[in-house]
Amino acid sequence: MTVHRDPLYLDNCVEGCAHCHQRLLGLLDDVLRLDDPEAWFSAPSTLAHWTRRHVVAHLARNAESHVHLFAEAAAGREGDQYPGGVESRTAGIDSYAALDAATLVAKNRASIYALESAWARSPSTAWDGAARNTVGVRMKMRDLPMLRWREVEVHTSDLDAGVTFRDWNPLYVRYDLPRMTMMQTSRTPMGMSTLPEAALRLSEAERLAWLLGRHVPSGLEPLQGL
């Protein structure tokens, strides 16, 4: 699902995500300089049942999954993001979450640079292709940098390390807000094609944080996040 009309959409998503990658890596490098980085990684994230280690493990595995999809697309195939589905995705996250801090940070750096390299070298035929996510929903390859950008922006704030939704890149918010709005309104009863008035009064970043299940503003019910 693409809801933009920006001719620079793809380039902007690649650039924005690359900047967000560097912010994440800088944060993780700072953590490795702490007296006890293992304790930091083992502390809870803002996500239920996930430590910071799980969030960072997921980010590395997510980047690797995108590298795999670009390789499949370059070969003319529609790949599965996590071959084996949800169980495979969960097992991969758990295996990386068992790594020590330095190794986990190294996995993130390697996966990020592998993904950015895949963006740079992929032929137009790959970018014109498609893939399937964990639950089998078809995705356009040209949307993958935007989806990766979401992962990094949002999960960096999930680490509870001083970054919040108020720090999300405004261009990311501009691109993702229509997508998430459409997703939410599609779940409501017939005739309910707009968000509640209380949501429309919010800033765009706060509204998106609510739609993503990361924030519960006054007067609104919590939503299930991605």
Q: What pLDDT digit, counting tens, does each position of 165-217 carry?
A: 999 999 999 999 999 999 998 877 665 678 999 999 999 999 999 999 999 99
What is the pLDDT of the chain when averaged over all its residues? 94
Q: In this predicted structure, what is the pLDDT of residue 86?
A: 94
Which CATH number among 1.20.120.450, 3.40.50.150, 2.130.10.10, 3.30.70.1400 corresponds to the domain 9-163? 1.20.120.450
Percent of the chain with pLDDT over 70: 95
Q: In this predicted structure, what is the pLDDT of residue 225?
A: 76
Q: Which residue has better confidence, 5 or 34?
A: 34
- CA-based radius of gyration for the chain: 18
The rounded distance, in Å, linking the Cα atoms of 193 and 10 is: 28
The rounded distance, in Å, linking the Cα atoms of 25 and 41 is: 14
Q: Residue 117: which pLDDT band, with cuts at 50, 70 and 90? A: very high
Q: Residue 5: which pLDDT band, with cuts at 50, 70 and 90? A: low
**Token reading at 45:** 């994230």
Identify the burial level of 88 via C-beta atoms within 10 angstroms of its C-beta, where 0-12 means exposed, 13-18 middle and 19 or more buried. middle
N- to C-terminal Cα distance for the chain? Answer: 15
Average pLDDT over residues 144-164: 98
Q: Residue 224: which pLDDT band, with cuts at 50, 70 and 90? A: confident
Q: In this predicted structure, what is the pLDDT of residue 194?
A: 85
Percent of the chain with pLDDT over 90: 91
Instruction: Compute CA distances 84 → 69, 133, 203, 204, whole Å.
Output: 14, 11, 39, 36
Q: In this predicted structure, what is the pLDDT of residue 191?
A: 53
From-to residues of CATH 1.20.120.450 in the chain: 9-163
Residues 25-62 have pLDDT tens digits of 999 999 999 999 999 999 999 999 999 999 999 999 99
